[in-house]
Chains A and B, each alone.
Chain A
Amino acid sequence: MSYACLTQECLATILDAIGIDTPEEVFSSIPEDLRYDSRLDIKGPLDEESLRREFICDTANVVFAGGGIYRHHIPALVNAIASRQEFLTAYTPYQPEISQGTLQAIFEYQSMMASLTGMDVANASMYDGATALAEAALMAAKIRGIKRIIVSRATHPAYRMVLKTYLAHMQDISLVEVPFDPDSGQTDMKAFAEMVDTDAAVFVQQPNYFGVIEPMDDIAAKAFHAGFWGMVVTEAISLGLLKNPGSYNPDVVIGDAQSFGNPPGAGGPLLGFFCVNKKHVRRMPGRIIGLTSDTRERQAFCLTLATREQHIRREKATSNICTNQGLCALRAALYLSAMGPAGLRQAATQCASGARYLMNALKDKGIAPVFSAPVFHEFVIPLAPEKFDSLRKDGIVGGIPISSHYPEIGDACLVNVTEMNTKEDCECLIRRL
């Protein structure tokens, strides 16, 4: 079944109108020697029940894994509204007159993200936090005088790897890592202070990959002397509790807002966000929705600042991004509207409280966290690699093994607690450690 409907009678009408005798003649412009004359080796067609059986999957019940992809409560209305075909099956809103729904919803997403980050403007989304960081670095690299991109080693390893991929061909820009303090788990401030200069663009993640809260006042005071500086937020829920990034006056705040109404999804889709101060808005990558009016002076929305974009500027565009994560941004808008100010604060507070609950219980069992600085909702504990498999056999994902990315820490596990966990989950984990 190809979801096409064409009776023999219709087919005759169509062939007649085109002026050909057989359907295959429609491909007469393809040279004979390029035609594929075998049958593709693809299973199917499968009926809906057989299809369902192909996709049965054993999922763990108790999960303490985060590391940039988080499990949070998603109000039921998010799925109910986001699955409406009007939002789900629409294309990018190039024709504003029949896309006001998408346009206004994304404008509201932009408004809420700008407000939460304390920045002037948010774009309509990026693929994920890592590509948002890479694009922020590319944006910084275009600023006169920038020669180095400095990133804290306590930034998400995959983000740093994507950054490296994107910067690989830029011979005149070097990528440098700032070490972290092995006791506190925070970015090493002495090293940071020595590296920051006007020819550098610096990026620091808050909370960092270890869940540790960075000393942002100190970092901001030093980053102020850099040519460009950006904050990375991989856990958007933290915006509900911590001081907003904008209060530290960065040039950009980028990261991932998957936590806002988007499930872990086995790794994606995620929701990259990109926020800047007004002065950078014309350098910004990605789509932006603006408010305007129609010919009858009524409120209307449209894509704006298109002169930055690939379809107008081609090779001179600020970015090549075209399709983004529109539906994920819509879900974030739905989530934030459903949760409201108090709900978001409570989700963040529950995460931090849950992490402290588990951390204390582990301490009672003699398992102390690796780092001493305060954490948001994630922390690192020592754990042998074979332990992950035995936990999973009991239906528990104990966290994320991180020693391959940080051999200097030794065998260790990044443990995350959210409002989706319970005290019973915690007991369950502790009993098996």
Chain B
Amino acid sequence: MSDQKTISHFPEIKEPLLIKRSSPGKNTRVCPAPFEHCALHDLDPAEKLPDLPDVSEVETVRHFTRLSRLNYGIDHGMYPLGSCTMKYNPKISEDIAGRLQAIHPADSIAMNSILKYCQSLQRYLQEICGMDACCLWPAAGAHGELTGMMTIKKAIEKSGAAKNTVLIPDTAHGTNPSSCAIAGFTTKAIPSGEEGFLTASILKDHLSQDVAALMITNPNTLGIFEREIAEIARLLHENGSYLYMDGANLNAIMGIARPSDMGVDCMHVNLHKTFGTPHGGGGPGSGPVLVTKELEPFLPAPVIVQDDSGEYSLSWDLPDSIGMVHSCLGNVNVLIKALVYLLSLGADGLKDASIRASLNANYLKSRLKKSFDLPFATPTLHEFVLSDRLQKAAEVTTMDMAKALMEFGFHPPTVYFPLVVSGAIMIEPTETEPIEELDRFVQAMETIARTSSEDPQSLHDTPRGCPVTRVDEVWAARNLLLTWSMNESKGEDLVSK
């Protein structure tokens, strides 16, 4: 590995905790003070000032700028996290949405425009998925799952049926069973078929009267299209059960196939994946829910309504609704960014994105399968899963290879997921990677494969060119230093070790 040219994005920075720069009186900010200060004895104020760092503006700016340089973002390079769809985040979306941030939701005239945008977004998402109705308020994918499953729960209760089990294939994301449990369902994991997709015959083995729904990701987390989904939907419907689709991988099928045609009753999409809104280092995302006409009455409140004069407003008059799932309108600003994205691509651009996303992934797969184990030969769309089976002979694991990729200036793929593949490496390049970057990724992976037999230790030692080397996560969980003061009370000091 030593002769490999690495692209280091990272400077040599050791940035202490901000509190260590604090000293009384350093912050000289002049804050707005339009009113004379009242005594405020009636509020029985705290005697001491809040315990926050007292630092100058330049120290704050430099501290966080230095921290930013310890991070890897999409604008640095390829970020092939499988099922996360880390595509380029258009700057124009930030620019436009950024101008709409000062609006208070009680401003009825401004909100008329905002609700108009929201309704356009609903309509476009319905068009892409073929679904009848949409709720934009869930703030993230898992929040969408929970909302969708609550919607199904309410519909089942209303029908008087006693159905409480949700079947979930073993390739599912962990949020699926977790969201079902919080919505009050019992979950049952079912195996996917030998070829990496769920077959109707497997479903039949598990389909009982108690089954409320099947929750399936399509294309699934192996990147495989669930080709028996229409028959699966038919069986479920015959049984009085619903088909829920996790739309995490919608980026593979925009304008190519619509969930409604597959028999989907309820689904969520991730705007921060498919529609190019930034993930912000962990959010805010957005997870709108889409349903059929039958489930529409149970969607969360409020709904957007338009009166005869064309004015938009919100209605809470929904007798069968599950109720509110967010204190206001979800991550509205993210909704705006997604709408800008949709309009900037248009119908043809969206279809083109799905085609190119699948082409890019298949290009990588066709080249990488020569050096890595490909556990499923079934055709895939926008992502695929390799394993570390071949490299394990030399005791090189998926973790080693993920860390080694950082040396080449890449963010690693999703690793050790899905759980059905031992040592999984799940790669989703997205449509926005140019072929040169894909080729560079292939070269990096091939070098890693070669190094794993020639010099495995050098892979165990990666990453070396990052701000830190491998991190002791076990120590973190045992010692639980979760704040500055917990660190202080632990004694001086882990940091200066």
Contacts and interface: CB of A to CB of B under 8 A. Distances in A.
Interface residues of B, number: 201
B230 A33 contact: yes
Contact of B282 (A93, A164, A169): A93
A317 B432 CA distance: 35
A304 B476 contact: yes
B473 A169 contact: no
B32 A41 contact: no
B350 A311 contact: no
B96 A97 contact: no
Contacts of A19: 366
Contacts of A279: none
Interface in B72-106: 72-76, 79, 81, 84, 86-90, 92, 94-96, 98-106
Interface residues of A, number: 200
B229 to A, nearest CB: 7
Contact of A91 (B42, B143, B282): B282
Interface centre among A34, A343, A400 (most CB of B within 10 A): A34
Nearest to B101: A263
B108 A389 contact: yes
Contacts of B346: 42-46
B348 to A, nearest CB: 7
B104 A264 contact: yes
Contacts of B124: 42
A354 B140 contact: no
Contacts, number: 690
A1 B34 CA distance: 48
Interface stretch (A48-56, A177-185, A221-229): A48-56
Contacts of A89: 73-75, 89, 278-279
Nearest to A58: B109
A328 B55 contact: no
Interface in A125-152: 125, 127-131, 138
Contacts of B432: 2-4
A91 B72 CA distance: 9
Contacts of B67: 100-101, 104-105
Interface string B211-243: 000000000000011010110000000000000
Contact of A102 (B51, B281, B353, B435): B281
A19 B379 CA distance: 12
B437 to A, nearest CB: 10
Given A243-B44, A293-B472, A330-B281, A97 B345 contact: no
Nearest to B65: A81
B255 A3 contact: no
B359 to A, nearest CB: 5
Contacts of B258: 36
Given A95-B402, A312-B174, A75 B366 contact: no
Contacts of A120: 482-483, 486
B202 interface: no
A14 interface: yes
Contacts of A84: 65, 68
Given A40-B127, A97-B463, A158-B327, A297 B60 contact: no
A420 B32 contact: yes
Given A4-B353, A268-B331, A421-B34, A310 B174 contact: yes
B50 A327 contact: no
A409 interface: no
Interface in A259-318: 263-270, 281, 287-307, 309-317
A165 B325 contact: yes
Contacts of A421: 34
Contacts of A310: 142, 174-175, 177-178
Contact of A44 (B89, B349, B473): B349
Interface centre among A19, A93, A349 (most CB of B within 10 A): A349
Interface string A67-85: 1110101010101110111
A46 B339 CA distance: 11
A91 B84 contact: yes
A116 B100 contact: no
B497 interface: yes
A213 B40 CA distance: 12
B454 interface: no
Interface stretch (B12-20, B389-397, B444-452): B12-20
Given A40-B128, A240-B50, A327 B352 contact: no
Contacts of A410: none
Contact of A2 (B256, B431, B483): B431
B406 A98 contact: yes
B324 A165 contact: yes
Interface in B98-134: 98-111, 113-114, 117, 124, 127-128, 130
Given A323-B141, A353-B35, A59 B103 contact: yes
Contacts of A399: 106
Contacts of B363: 14, 17-18
Given A18-B359, A101-B68, A326-B280, A127 B333 contact: no
B174 A317 contact: yes
A320 B282 contact: no
B177 A87 contact: no
A18 B19 CA distance: 54
Contacts of B37: 349-350, 353
Interface centre among B130, B145, B282 (most CB of A within 10 A): B282
A356 B35 CA distance: 10
A27 B358 contact: yes
B427 interface: no
27 contacts: A3-B90, A10-B435, A14-B363, A23-B359, A34-B257, A39-B255, A42-B127, A43-B346, A45-B348, A55-B96, A59-B102, A90-B72, A91-B281, A92-B281, A114-B485, A263-B102, A281-B482, A292-B476, A298-B497, A299-B16, A317-B174, A321-B143, A322-B174, A334-B64, A346-B31, A353-B37, A397-B104
Pairs A-B, 6 closest by C-beta atoms? A44-B346, A326-B282, A327-B280, A169-B184, A340-B27, A101-B71
Given A92-B282, A168-B154, 5 more contacts: A60-B110, A111-B19, A138-B182, A330-B281, A420-B32
